[in-house]
A = this chain, B = another copy of it.
């Protein structure tokens, strides 16, 4: 039994759902999950579908899907073998809370993913990587070595055929070059409720503004800083009694949960990106 996940988006038109479900039936598949969404403002159709097949050839199925469905409706589409674990690279710096949270989930089997390596511009978290038996590469980054460092990163990413990158409080700005190689495949955690408090030191800004709620936002990295498609957000209530270190401590709890939730959505192929926004299927 083969289980696959299909993600589709295209211009909204009559008959898409019937055509897709028919196609699965005609290929002797059984649909076990279907969800769809229409953005009525933009007139775009989205669908996520899980289907099971007793006998299955990915190559043939994709070819048929393309000729029978995708071309007819001018679809963008992706098809995944549900058992195929994506390969995730972790970029970290000195903060350990997100790293512990991700690796704790990874080692307990909560994340259906492989982690070929961890990269950092500092050596501080190497012992954590060691404890979880994950290769750790220390690639320092200075203004002068930034391009060379990113080339070294890119080489590692290619060698390990990495599918997506997680910036687990990696404190460096990613260059356009790397972003272009991994479009909507670099997940960042920003420690504010975006679009409020873009950029550096958001907890300081939140304190200064006197907000009563702080937040964290996980998003795909795009060229514009902290402006990429939002995957997940969460918030926590604060008050005048919270000084900046209290906001930072409260924020750490938000950051780790929000980032891990975003990673899970991505791993489980529940995210579709369009117009700098996301559809997150349930």
Contact surface of A with B, Cβ cutoff 8 Å? 14-15, 17-18, 21-22, 24-25, 30-41, 96-97, 100-101, 104-105, 107-108, 110, 127, 131, 193-197, 207, 209-213, 215, 229-235, 237, 239-241, 243-244, 249, 252-253, 257, 275-280, 282
Contacts and interface: CB of A to CB of B under 8 A. Distances in A.
Contact of A239 (B235, B252, B280): B280
A24 to B, nearest CB: 7
Interface residues of chain A: helix, strand, loop or mixed (majority): mixed
Contact of A41 (B40, B231, B244, B252): B244
Interface centre among A18, A31, A35, A197 (most CB of B within 10 A): A18
Contacts of A240: 37, 39, 277-280
Contact of A212 (B31, B96, B100, B233): B233
Given A21-B22, A108-B96, A213 B235 contact: yes
A237 to B, nearest CB: 7
Given A18-B24, A100-B100, A131-B131, A212 B237 contact: no
26 contacts: A14-B30, A15-B30, A18-B21, A18-B25, A18-B31, A21-B22, A22-B22, A22-B25, A32-B38, A35-B36, A37-B240, A37-B241, A40-B243, A41-B243, A96-B104, A97-B104, A97-B105, A100-B104, A131-B131, A194-B211, A195-B196, A195-B211, A210-B275, A211-B230, A240-B277, A257-B257
A31 B251 CA distance: 29
Nearest to A264: B249
Given A240-B277, A241-B282, A278-B240, A17 B37 contact: no
Contacts of A212: 230-233, 280
Contacts of A279: 240
Contacts of A97: 104-105, 108
A117 to B, nearest CB: 19
Given A97-B104, A229-B210, A22 B32 contact: no
A252 B256 CA distance: 13
Contacts of A278: 210, 240
Closest 10 CB pairs of A and B: A210-B277, A18-B25, A196-B196, A100-B104, A131-B131, A21-B21, A240-B279, A212-B233, A14-B30, A17-B31
